[in-house]
Amino acid sequence: MTELWDRPDAAVVLGSALVAMVLVLSRGIWRVSRNVVTIAHEGGHALFALLSGRRLSGITLHSDTSGVTVSRGRPTGFGMILTGFAGYVAPSLLGLGGAALVAADQIRPLLWGSTALLIAMLVMIRNVFGVISVVVTGAIVFAVSWFATVEVQNAFGYLFCWFLLLGGVRPVWELQRKRVRGRAPSSDADQLARLTGVPGTLWVLVFGAISLASLYFGGLLLLAV
């Protein structure tokens, strides 16, 4: 902590972490900010569907922060398993990758890369709310990368990574809570259970372990302790 406070950007690092916690933990704010996590979640499904050789049909983002990614191909097999697995871990892994770029002082490439991914995702969005969500998110990231000062870009980069790292954990907990109440019979974990025979609860534990590990290692990178 002493080394952290000796850093000239200590206030930015800790302040952005605090703001990200508010965005994730505040129930009212989370209803809005969770849309960014949903974009990352569905983007993870879409990316790994393509990487596994499936044909991507479209992505729908709903105002209740849920989403659906439709791809065509074999209904079983490794490609389908990989596609189903990618959603809940995507925000955390993106946050970890972003933290690595921030630690390497590559914040502008992080912002440009994020903008490019959002533009690529926009092509596959199939509903109005989804288009608005992606366009607004992309416009904010692009505006910061193009018009903001270096100081603002640095602060935004830290906030962006902290939010994905923290925001990747909460949906996993929400998922299991819904499953316990019988409100998520077709969740990613339950679909994976049907595909693999591995219990859905175990898949939730795997999601949680990856999210928490990403938060830990990403946090170390951002804090540079």
Question: What is the SS3 assignment for 47?
Answer: helix
pTM: 0.95
The runs of H, that is alpha helices, within 52-187 are: 78-103, 107-122, 128-147, 150-167, 170-180
Kindly report, residue by residue over 47-78, the tens digit of the pLDDT. Answer: 999 999 999 999 999 999 999 999 999 999 99
Q: Is the pLDDT of residue 224 over 90?
A: no
pLDDT average, residue stretch 23-28: 96
